[in-house]
Structure 1
Amino acid sequence: MDYRRGGTAERPTISFVTADAAGVLRLSRAESRMNIMTRQMRTTLASAELPPLPSGIEIKTLLLTDQADMVIVGTADGEVFRYDARDFNAPRLAEHVRVLPEGERLTGLYFLIGEQSLVAAGDRGSVDVLFRLGGGTAPDGLRLVRAHVLPRQPAATEALAASQRGKMFITADTGGAVWLRHSTSGQVLLRLDKPGGAERYAAVALTPRDDAILAIAADGRVAMWNIAVPHPETTFATIFGRVWYEGYDAPSWTWQSSAGTDQFEPKLSLVPLIFGTVKATVYALLFAVPVALLAAIYTSEFLHRRVRAVVKPAMEMMASLPSVVLGFVAALILAPLVEEIVPAVLFALIFLPLAFIAAAHLWQLLPRAVMLRHAGLSKLGLIFVCLAAATWAAGLLGRPFEALVFGGDVKAWLNGDIPGAVGFTAFLLLPVSALLIVVTAAGPAGDALDRLTGTGSRLRVAIGALARWLLLSGAALALAVALASLLTAIGFDPRGGLVGTYVQRNTLIVGFAMGFAVIPIIYTISEDALNSVPEHLRSASLACGATAWQTATRIILPTAASGVFAAVMIGMGRAVGETMIVVMAAGNTPIIDWNIFNGLRALSANIAVELPEAVRDGTLFRMLFLAALTLFAMTFVVNTLAEVIRLRFRRRAAAL
């Protein structure tokens, strides 16, 4: 038999399941009710017979859940019959499975705390852990799945006892060996041999604090061991590998350190936190590096010295902005704003660079005298005017872009409610197709195009350059659409990978906010590196007929590569260690997902969020220190590799 207590103080219940010698299974419930006036208790007993088992079955053990909604019958030949008792008056057989290998006899079944894990022991020393999972074909939708196969004991396992605090349990075999195990980590924590003279143990138990093991031998003697197992759930495999946790359909990397019940199983994988750190850094650098490097090149090579003396200190002052302020603005202002204009923001990522390139070509159409007269502060002001106008135009074109690419509703498209992925795939492929077109244009076809459009008066050359850019842009767009159509035809869909369901506080917001924190650092160091290039290299390039842009990209930038690379690495270090922006703007969801519209949790943010609640010297407390050590190791390795690469760049440029 097995029984469970339940109900409330006013209406307590006792449920029990029994099996008699004839194999008849009966589920009974005694419910007591208190008379509020007389304070007397009145008990009623209800009973229901379970559907019969096949004839010849030898029942080994019975288990009843706390809610008395499930009965598990273990047979001696290693099979389990699971009954659905949610309807007390009409229980039914839900599942019949074999839990041990063929030919092995069952010696015991036991629930671990929470009753989601079922330990099955056999006469050949096998100890397996089964989970109750959803998705089954049974009437209650559940199924028993073998999740963990633990190390075998030397002899038949016959006595089991579970911890009242976690997923530890004890198994004792007929040879007198007592093993302390942990279900989730799968490790044997302790192996105890029998005392002299004892043949076997009839029963074992763990004390409520998991600090002692009690074993009663068949001859009546009692043995007790004081034990200390402070962190049984942590191994290298559980911290960095996939682990199959209760309630999960498959092994996974999961971080969830606490919950609202004592039956909770801590999940302490650092992989989602490492992934979140890398994800935030990658998207922040994708936004920050192009902006910072192009700004540094423009300031160093094209901006007037008097204007540079104002712009560079202003950019350096941006580095003094507290990250908590950037995180506050990102979470409370930027995130709700971007959610309302997602299509416009995405369109601006392509439209703003194109608008600046178009403005640059139009600037070349002006008379030389006008260009020289306004080459200083006026030109910089026109750049900001162009930025404002392009931003305003992107906002106006956001709705048509949404209709063209996302079928009229970007969030519904991201959720998969609207079919079709050609438009967004072409949007993603546009930079790649543009690079392919530029590389192609650098060959013989490009040389012929240069001879056609690069001769004649200055105005004609400028018009030819504009026409060439429009032609190449159209070719890049056509190539992107063609590639997107081909990928979509073979089943490619970016949803579920780089993009997916939209969450307000997401990686896109983190990338913008962290980018503003990283840009001043990369800009300042890169600009100093570009300015440190010897002037004779710049003069020689210009004297050979190269344009200022050719000189900057083919002479100055390669020569200053060591300094520029160091700037990017320092910016990466700033992004990896960023805390407040990630805490406030990323949603703090420890998931492994490249979706730019979903959240993340970084190592630094996790330490800041969970350290105040961690019990000193507890498992979580030590895991947070391990997270800090992991973060240090990541930055150390990255910076070491960066220094090696920087020195190679420096040796190559030293000969110049």
Structure 2
Amino acid sequence: MTKSTDHRMPELDFNTPALKRHRKIRALKDRTASMGIAIGGNSVILAVLLICFYLLYEVAPLFSGATIESRASYAVPAEEKGDSLYLTAEEQSEVGMRVTNQGHVVFFSVADGSVMDTVDNLRTEEVTAFAVESDTSQLMAFGYSDGKALIVKHDYRISYPDGVRKITPVIEYPYGQEPINVADFAIKKLSIRDGSDSLTLVAVGDQQSAVTKVTKDVNFITGEVELSEQSQPLPFVEDIVSVLVSGDQRYLYVATRKGLLSEFDLRDFDSLTLKNTLSLFEDDANLVSMSYLLGQSSIMVADSSGRVSQWFNVRDNATNEEHLTFIRDVKQPAPLVNLAMEHRRKGFATLDDRGIVAIYNATSTRQVVDEKLTDGTASLISFLPRANGLLLEDSKGLHYFFVDNEHPEVSWSSIWGKVWYEGYQEPTYTWQSSAANNDFEPKYSLTPLAFGTLKAAFYAMLMAVPLAICGAIYTAYFMAPALRRKIKPVIELMEALPTVILGFLAGLFFAPFLEENLAATFSILVVLPVGIILFAYLWSRLPQQIRWLVPEGWQPLVLIPVVVFLAWFCLALSPFIELNFFDGNIRGWITNDLGITFDQRNALVVGFAMGFAVIPTIFSITEDAIFSVPKSLTQGSLALGATYWQTMTRVVLPTASPGIFSAVMIGMGRAVGETMIVLMATGNTPIMDFNIFEGMRTLAANLAVEVPESAVGSSHYRILFLAAFVLFIFTFMVNTIAEVVRQHLRKKYGSL
């Protein structure tokens, strides 16, 4: 009897409580992971957008217009003292001052116009002329009918009686209460310029004019300042409207009603000569005002056609002489009545016969305000010291306006275009955000910084890309696997080296070493590739028994002593090359014979140092892309008869091209944003020169240097945020281009 056996497989139950619980847990983990990844990705995008919006938030005020609003209107203080010649106020804009045509000085409250004090004319003679040295010096001069001039200075003393601040206006007499004898005729026009060593006064009468120079001599025994006067007649010019003495007291400018300007040289005081004559405007207009901008370098000329032009001295390279040159102008559609200068910036305001006030900045030529403030009868305007207020006098009285004008010196043209700055021979791209004096003209051109960023990245990529990609190709495709497992981590470990260390070594060691061995550096660029090719040729001609001693894929180790020997050979040969071909000084030959400026810390140093920092990034990504090409593609190509080189160039590289391009773009992004290497190894000079022996300043390095020193909320501060935004846009563009090209290459070679 045969026993039957049941061979049926046992039934599997997939719905046991344990399996159900396991599936639920796994599904929960999947959902949690998906949500975490989505939240993380969206958070990164949100963070980038928030950074972008914050940068725009800080930058936006730069390009917002100014506002002006009325704060007070009242009758002219002490109107019975005469018509106003000059209006100003003290630092806090609390106490105003009005100078009248009768020689009286009236101090009043800016808030309500109440008279605080009056200083009457000290002399019985009639006041026939008045001049202001500058708004910042607070020095003024009254000219009288007897040819004398009295120099006064308004000042404001702060005290705290009973703990309450009190501002007391006073009139001082820096040259004594006795007037200075300037001329022997009634003064109709007067100009004053004070300096540390001398004072210059120019007086113009009906048919004659004169210049008086007051020299200050310090008595070393008593410490007193002794004054000595010297006067010279000046060639008379008809119909004079304005007279100006330059800030250094070297030149005198006399302008007529029709805009004819005569320039006199005051350096040889014994023989005053006419240096030059030019026309300030060509149309049939009349001169309204001519005054110096802050710093006494630029002359601002306003005429009745509504035009305000800027002029300053420009040195001629051929003659080494300075010539007053037209720089730029702005235009209002109506005749101008008055012109006012800002006390601490390169700004000015115009008043036309319609009662419209326009505020400009001379450097950026940007109009920030253009508003009608009166009915057209206004005759005088003046800025308050901090440029946050404006005093205007018309037939109805005196008006005080608050002005909110924080960033007038910034415009798109001044940021990205050429600007003709004071003291420069031509328009330039210049970054210079600070200086030692208060008369400084800010130079906020981002063009040299953007240029420097691209220049540094270009030279870094010029070194890094060929070495990294060629090294990655050999490592991934030709090198022995055992050697690859050692070489690849070592190169990737280079990326962990802090860039501040690389910058330190580049600036303090490599830059002087490169300068001393320039001949060796350039000979290496020729000798090294030629020597390696020659060695490879000789290696291929060796007997197979010798070549087989080195395993396949380990040949790079044989090249190490060859490279070391060739580098030593070039260094040893460097003095001979420099002595016989470059007269013993290759740097001098580059500078004098080629006319190329050479700086120790230059783009060549940056190319080596930053290229060294970028190589690991490009190498690692490129090597992974090439190594990830399916072996079936390479084996199929080789099976069809292609050589290793043909397989590499026609199969492997096209397939890996998306990854290779991404590697290059990521390296480019790293080079654009690099800070410490370019900060320490380039000299940090914001110049626009593609010369490899010149330095540069990049956007990132500029941010690192100047952000800690900038005043929060200032134009400089916000310009630096704009530089950060430009750097952000650079990086965004590089990444976008990389992704677009990568997707294109992936579609093109994805079928391989």
Structure 1 residue 36: deviation in Å? 5.3
Q: Map residues 12-27 of structure 1 onto 2, 5 A cutoff.
A: 13-22=198-207, 24-27=208-211
- Aligned partner letter, 1:268: Y
- Aligned partner letter, 2:414: T
Question: What does residue 560 of structure 1 align with?
Answer: 656
Instruction: Tell me if 1:127 matches 2:312.
Output: no
Structure 1 residue 532: deviation in Å? 0.6
Contact 2:264 2:272 in 1 (8 A): yes
Instruction: Tell me if 1:364 matches 2:364.
Output: no
Contact 2:480 2:554 in 1 (8 A): no
- Relative to structure 1, the CA distance from residue 248 to residue 41 in structure 2 (aligned partners, 3 Å threshold; closer, same or farther) is closer
- Aligned partner letter, 2:327: A
Question: What does residue 559 of structure 2 align with?
Answer: 383
Q: Map residues 166-245 of structure 1 onto 2, 5 A cutoff.
A: 166-196=345-375, 199-201=377-379, 203-217=380-394, 219=395, 221-245=397-421
Question: What does residue 96 of structure 1 align with?
Answer: 277
Distance 2:539 2:585 in 1: 37
Instruction: Tell me if 1:503 matches 2:599.
Output: yes
Identify which range, 347-356 or 392-401, moves more after superposition. Answer: 392-401
Question: What does residue 2 of structure 1 align with?
Answer: 191
Distance 1:221 1:21 in 2: 33
Distance 1:617 1:242 in 2: 25
- Relative to structure 1, the CA distance from residue 17 to residue 638 in structure 2 (aligned partners, 3 Å threshold; closer, same or farther) is same
Distance 1:584 1:527 in 2: 31
Q: Which SS does the other structure have where 1:4 is aligned?
A: strand
Identify which range, 633-642 or 540-549, moves more after superposition. Answer: 540-549
Distance 1:263 1:600 in 2: 27
- Aligned partner letter, 1:502: F
Q: Which SS does the other structure have where 1:184 is aligned?
A: coil
Structure 1 residue 412: deviation in Å? 2.8
Aligned residues: 563
**Which of 149, 164, 172 is matched with 2:343 structurally?**
164
Q: Which SS does the other structure have where 2:199 is aligned?
A: strand
Question: What does residue 29 of structure 1 align with?
Answer: 213
Structure 1 residue 547: deviation in Å? 3.0
Question: What does residue 523 of structure 1 align with?
Answer: 619
- Relative to structure 1, the CA distance from residue 410 to residue 366 in structure 2 (aligned partners, 3 Å threshold; closer, same or farther) is same
Deviations 1:518-537 (CA, angstroms, capped at 9, x unpaired): 00111111111111111122
Q: Map residues 135-146 of structure 1 onto 2, 5 A cutoff.
A: 135=316, 141-146=321-326
Q: Which SS does the other structure have where 2:195 is aligned?
A: strand
Distance 2:421 2:219 in 1: 45
**Which of 686, 693, 705 is matched with 1:590 structurally?**
686
Identify which range, 350-359 or 142-151, moves more after superposition. Answer: 350-359
- Relative to structure 1, the CA distance from residue 404 to residue 292 in structure 2 (aligned partners, 3 Å threshold; closer, same or farther) is farther
Q: Which SS does the other structure have where 1:226 is aligned?
A: strand
Distance 1:389 1:531 in 2: 32
Distance 2:216 2:495 in 1: 70
Distance 1:588 1:623 in 2: 18
Structure 1 residue 104: deviation in Å? 2.3
Identify which range, 517-526 or 40-49, moves more after superposition. Answer: 40-49
Distance 1:537 1:405 in 2: 53
Instruction: Tell me if 1:75 matches 2:171.
Output: no
**Which of 232, 239, 252 is matched with 1:48 structurally?**
232
- Relative to structure 1, the CA distance from residue 42 to residue 295 in structure 2 (aligned partners, 3 Å threshold; closer, same or farther) is closer
Distance 2:583 2:651 in 1: 46
Q: Which SS does the other structure have where 1:204 is aligned?
A: strand
Q: Which SS does the other structure have where 2:360 is aligned?
A: strand
Question: What does residue 151 of structure 2 align with?
Answer: none
Contact 1:538 1:555 in 2 (8 A): yes
- Aligned partner letter, 2:264: Y
- Aligned partner letter, 2:251: M
Contact 2:478 2:553 in 1 (8 A): no
**Which of 691, 705, 708 is matched with 1:612 structurally?**
708
Contact 1:165 1:263 in 2 (8 A): yes
- TM-score normalized with structure 1 length: 0.82
Contact 1:116 1:131 in 2 (8 A): yes
Distance 2:727 2:524 in 1: 34
Distance 1:31 1:413 in 2: 50
Identity, in percent, stands at 38
Question: What does residue 148 of structure 1 align with?
Answer: 328
Q: Which SS does the other structure have where 1:74 is aligned?
A: strand
Distance 2:686 2:466 in 1: 28
- Relative to structure 1, the CA distance from residue 45 to residue 631 in structure 2 (aligned partners, 3 Å threshold; closer, same or farther) is same
Question: What does residue 470 of structure 1 align with?
Answer: none
Contact 1:591 1:600 in 2 (8 A): yes
- Relative to structure 1, the CA distance from residue 36 to residue 527 in structure 2 (aligned partners, 3 Å threshold; closer, same or farther) is closer
Distance 1:37 1:289 in 2: 73
Structure 1 residue 553: deviation in Å? 2.6
Question: What does residue 346 of structure 1 align with?
Answer: 522
Contact 1:118 1:131 in 2 (8 A): yes
Q: Which SS does the other structure have where 1:31 is aligned?
A: strand
Deviations 1:169-212 (CA, angstroms, capped at 9, x unpaired): 1222233322211111112221232434x5131x2211111100
Contact 1:194 1:200 in 2 (8 A): no
Contact 2:293 2:346 in 1 (8 A): yes
Distance 1:380 1:79 in 2: 80
Q: Map residues 243-258 of structure 1 onto 2, 5 A cutoff.
A: 243-258=419-434
Distance 2:473 2:636 in 1: 18
Q: Which SS does the other structure have where 2:548 is aligned?
A: helix
Q: C-alpha root-mean-square deviation of aligned residues, in Å?
A: 2.1
- Relative to structure 1, the CA distance from residue 194 to residue 570 in structure 2 (aligned partners, 3 Å threshold; closer, same or farther) is closer
Q: Which has the higher strand share?
A: 2
- Relative to structure 1, the CA distance from residue 234 to residue 405 in structure 2 (aligned partners, 3 Å threshold; closer, same or farther) is farther
Instruction: Tell me if 1:59 matches 2:155.
Output: no
Q: Which SS does the other structure have where 1:7 is aligned?
A: coil
Q: Which has the higher helix share?
A: 1
Instruction: Tell me if 1:650 matches 2:746.
Output: yes
Structure 1 residue 254: deviation in Å? 1.0
Contact 1:168 1:182 in 2 (8 A): yes
- Relative to structure 1, the CA distance from residue 518 to residue 20 in structure 2 (aligned partners, 3 Å threshold; closer, same or farther) is same
- Aligned partner letter, 2:519: P
Instruction: Tell me if 1:309 matches 2:485.
Output: yes
Contact 1:307 1:376 in 2 (8 A): no
Q: Which SS does the other structure have where 2:261 is aligned?
A: strand
**Which of 273, 286, 305 is matched with 2:462 structurally?**
286
Deviations 1:554-579 (CA, angstroms, capped at 9, x unpaired): 32112211111111111111111100
Identify which range, 160-169 or 38-47, moves more after superposition. Answer: 38-47
Contact 1:257 1:266 in 2 (8 A): yes
Distance 1:236 1:633 in 2: 17
Q: Which SS does the other structure have where 1:227 is aligned?
A: strand
Contact 2:483 2:554 in 1 (8 A): no
* Unaligned ranges ≥5, structure 2: 1-189
Q: Which SS does the other structure have where 2:369 is aligned?
A: strand
- Aligned partner letter, 1:253: Y
Structure 1 residue 402: deviation in Å? 4.8
Distance 1:383 1:609 in 2: 43
Q: Which SS does the other structure have where 1:253 is aligned?
A: coil
Distance 2:623 2:727 in 1: 29
Q: Which SS does the other structure have where 1:160 is aligned?
A: strand
